[in-house]
Amino acid sequence: MTPTALYPTLGQLRRCTMAVDIGAARTRVYLRGGGLVVDEPSVAAIDTRTGALIAVGKRAETMFGRTPDHIRVARPVAGGAVVDIEMAQRMLRHVLGGKLGRRWMRLRGSPVMRAAVCMPHGSAPIARRAAVETMYGLGARRVEMVDTLISAAVGCGLPVEHPEATMIVVCGAGTTQVAVLSLGSLVAAETVPVGGDAIDRAVVDHLRSNHALMLPSQSVRPLHQALGAPTAGGTATTEVYGRDVASGLARSVMVETEVVRSAMRPPLNAVLDAITSVLRRCAPDLVADLGDRGIMLAGGSAHMPGLDLMLREATNMPVNVAPNPDTVAVRGLGAMIEGKVRPMVLSPLMA
Ligand SMILES: Nc1ncnc2c1ncn2[C@@H]1O[C@H](COP(=O)(O)OP(=O)(O)OP(=O)(O)O)[C@@H](O)[C@H]1O
């Protein structure tokens, strides 16, 4: 098997057939000449008695918390790494269905089946190894890895190859990655193990400890909407439904959106600390560029209403949410394998 490069050239990427982003929440696959063909929750349900795969993706996700004992609903990806390689391979094989086979056949002239994978910034060698093993299981014989921050910046259409600073914050489910880029390189970057899931967990924990209410995960989204809605003076409240911790019965409580907002503050502070730490490591000229251009916010959590506003207030910098923020990384990598990216050298952190 061919060894894997961490910073491949654009030429090496152009030889790849598919671009893959295996995230804690969702798995995305972009096929060369086929576009984004998979965008599914990274979830698989198996029958523990027979080992059979029962469902993957969206269908498996709806089974969470609703299965009998013999069905296990698993997330093969956590904290930015594939933690169950076999399950990840089964899940990918299933969501790709026949799409990959046809693509391999069409590209039979190519001597080696190659895949490009986005890796979270600063991921450990074991996480990279797990991603490579996962792709080998799908038939790839060479795997090129690109830092998610670079592919997301490309996917957002940021002029990363120019000698001026651009800043990107990719807030996913389990991690948030922050970088300042210039001339195709990461000038400074940081990853924190906090994302949309930690923010949701902070809200769930607040309701359990202060209102003795267990909130089902699907009830957190409507609460986000309330948090993002402008308040016309006074104290805004919103009604949430859950299960009483003591009695187990369904009930609702009225919660003040401001109180929920402060419950979300600890995980958000971790994101803010990462932004300030990255800015502190940049030269003043680069920081001056960012004063005008601001921060590009990407990742699925960029959909969270009010997150951009909170970051704007805390940093005093303009914050723009990328169009389709959750798929920018795989679409950026897709643009690289399609050869649609202006020539540049992809390199690790500048010394
Ligand atoms: N409309 C929305 N409102 C609030 N949060 C949202 C919305 N859509 C997605 N999210 C959040 O975005 C997160 C998923 O983001 P994304 O798809 O970028 O994750 P991922 O790439 O799989 O994760 P990671 O990068 O951490 O491996 C989840 O925490 C989810 O709750």
pLDDT value at 275 more than 80: yes
Give tens-digit pLDDT for 137-163. 988 989 999 999 999 999 999 988 888
Which residue reads 């909170």 in tokens?
310
User: Is there a contact between 76 and 130 (Cβ–Cβ < 8 Å)?
Assistant: no
- The protein residue whose alpha carbon is closest to atom 11 in ligand 1 is 301
CATH ID of 10-151+330-337, from 3.40.50.300, 3.30.420.40, 3.40.50.80, 3.30.420.130: 3.30.420.40
Q: Where are the alpha helices (DSSP H) in the chain?
A: 10-14, 57-61, 85-96, 99-106, 125-137, 148-155, 196-211, 220-228, 257-263, 265-280, 284-293, 307-315, 328-337
- Is residue 307 in contact with ligand 1, taking CB distance under 6 Å? no
348 falls in which pLDDT band (50, 70, 90)? Answer: low
Q: How confident is the model at residue 1 (pLDDT cuts 50, 70, 90)?
A: very low
Query: What is residue 58's three-state secondary structure?
Result: helix
Cα(299) to centroid(ligand 1), Å: 6
CA 339-344-345 angle, 5° bins: 115
Least confident of 181-185, 265-269, 331-335: 181-185
- CA–centroid distance, residue 173 to ligand 1 (Å): 4
The ipTM of this complex is 0.98
Domains of the chain, by residue range, sit at 10-151+330-337, 158-195+265-325, 200-256
**Domain 158-195+265-325 listed as CATH 3.40.718.10:** no
Q: From the CB of 265, is ligand 1 less than 6 Å away?
A: no
Does the fold of domain 200-256 match that of domain 10-151+330-337?
A: no
198 lines ligand 1 (CB under 6 A): no
Predicted pLDDT at 81: 93
Per-residue pLDDT for 133 more than 70? yes
Q: Which of 203, 301, 328, 333, when mutated, tests ligand 1's pocket best, judged by the most ligand atoms within 8 Å of its CB?
A: 301
Q: 172 C-alpha to center of ligand 1: Å?
A: 5
**Residue of 304, 308, 331 to test ligand 1 pocket, by largest number of atoms within 8 Å of CB:** 304
Binding-site members for ATP are 173-175
Q: Please provide the CATH number assigned to the domain covering 200-256.
A: 3.90.640.10
pLDDT of residue 212: 95
Q: Using CA positions, which residue lies closest to atom 17 of ligand 1?
A: 300
Judged against a pLDDT cut of 50, whether residue 3 lies above it is answered with no
* For residues 250-257, average pLDDT: 89
Report the separation in Å between the CA atom of 197 and the middle of ligand 1, taken as the mean of its atom positions. Answer: 8
Task: Tell me how far apart the alpha carbons of residues 181 and 167 are, in angstroms, rounded to a whole number.
Answer: 6
**pTM to 2 decimals?**
0.90
Taking residues 252-275, report their average pLDDT. 91
Q: How does residue 167 score in pLDDT terms, banded at 50, 70 and 90?
A: very high
Mean pLDDT (whole number) for 220-236: 68
Indicate the SS3 state at residue 224: helix
252 by DSSP, 3-state: which? strand
Residue 17 banded pLDDT, cuts 50, 70, 90: very high
Q: Is the CB of 80 under 6 A from ligand 1?
A: yes
